[in-house]
Structure 1
């Protein structure tokens, strides 16, 4: 393989775009928001399964080559960076497979206190009141309660990612997994970056925490959610009051399992 691949996954609204804007300051790195590779990967896996009558002609060795080749073919010569970070919430559910395909690759899972994820999404919805969001299939109706319920169910934007994160965290393949807390990234970015570089085995780089940029305005507009991937130039923690009703906030308040050392059965690195 010509590139060194790593993966960014975890929970939505937990700093993955901010992390991408920070990492890409290093000219050796490429990182971006969630892209199409995860969906292509899933589709390719499905088409090579038994549901395809011709799968009898496909060996596991061929499956491995095709899945590995997807990454090199997608990034190709257009991406000259030596180290590529592909972002998708699906990667936490593919930890065993990624370990088989890319033994030296690391998975950085971004996490955040759950009520604030719901709060962040609700803020976007209210801010863009005239534009129904792709997050809710462009449906203009609903309440904060139905939106929170939809986000949290197993197929929802938050629920799927949360379940995939738990699967990875409690699996037997955690050696290449690190959890990066949004609260650490925003309050102490130097500590977060140092931990990432140590984790992936790369030499240190002087990042500028006051001048981070990432532009995905066109994508956000098409998704009916302007500001979805907006990144402030200066990384800093900002205190605010929640806009969620107290019962909605409390519903998710105890879901941060990664904050409980006794639940970290396999010693996953949590920063």
Structure 2
């Protein structure tokens, strides 16, 4: 689930930006101080040395985060976009008589229009994809760790061990057979039952895609992180020829 902090920071910056009539009341130092204060206020009840804040669009805000925190890192779980689109379509078809807020009357008509709505620049998949691409090739890519879905589900213990190494934290034992999670209230309000439901056991399950072959092929080559040139990002993913973590 995404926390509201990224939205709070972005909203505050809009209010303090040049489009606001209050723009002249703020200088760069004050804007920066207010943005940091939003983090501190939201997590004031958490007396922890390390905090995880979740939002898909932090990857488009790396240039802001580096100004707010001396030591921050961004973890991104990635998967081949074709399978992400497939998963959204699976969930859509599991709710055949519930027209959710994920689509409107125009773009919900077919799998092609639904996929296009998700993958465009403002869609749930497209906006996250472009934000990640910005961070992956950006000047702060060394702060970024990508963990591939297939590797995580096939080798969860090793993947998490490598994650702790990236964070510089001491590992501890996890129970990968008891990680079920759901946000039924949130999903109910969105009209998409099961959107955030996670199976209890971390494991890889092979299945056939329900997307038309041309759609699957269209999105299959969008996993740009397979090309590791031009980035300093850390990656836990299979090579093109093996399943071993790098």
TM-score by length of 2: 0.91
Q: Which runs of 4+ in 1 moved over 3 A?
A: 79-82, 137-141
Contact persistence 1:133–1:139 (CA under 8 A): no
Q: Say which of 27, 33, 37 aligns to 1:69.
A: 37
Q: Say which of 171, 183, 199 aligns to 1:232.
A: 199
DSSP-derived class of the 2:44 partner: helix
DSSP-derived class of the 1:270 partner: strand
1:270 aligns to 2:238 (yes or no): no
Relative to its length, the structure with more strand (as a share) is 1
2:242 equivalent in structure 1: none
CA deviation after TM superposition for structure 1 residue 241, in Å: 0.4
Q: Structure 1: which 5+ residue stretches go unaligned?
A: 1-32
Measure the CA separation in 1 of the matches of 2:201 and 2:130: 31
CA deviation after TM superposition for structure 1 residue 84, in Å: 1.6
Measure the CA separation in 2 of the matches of 1:75 and 1:134: 30
1:163 aligns to 2:130 (yes or no): yes
CA deviation after TM superposition for structure 1 residue 255, in Å: 0.8
2:114 equivalent in structure 1: 147
Measure the CA separation in 2 of the matches of 1:250 and 1:178: 26
> Residues 62-84 of structure 1, C-alpha deviation per residue, up to 9 Å, x if partnerless?
1111111111211221x344422
Note closer, same or farther for the CA distance 1:111–1:141 as it changes in structure 2 (3 Å cut): closer
Note closer, same or farther for the CA distance 1:137–1:37 as it changes in structure 2 (3 Å cut): farther
Note closer, same or farther for the CA distance 1:103–1:265 as it changes in structure 2 (3 Å cut): same
Q: Structure 2: which 5+ residue stretches go unaligned?
A: 237-246
CA deviation after TM superposition for structure 1 residue 139, in Å: 6.8
Measure the CA separation in 2 of the matches of 1:258 and 1:244: 23
Count of aligned pairs between the two proteins:
236
**Counterparts of residues 204-215 of structure 1 (less than 5 Å):** 204-215=171-182
Contact persistence 2:107–2:114 (CA under 8 A): no
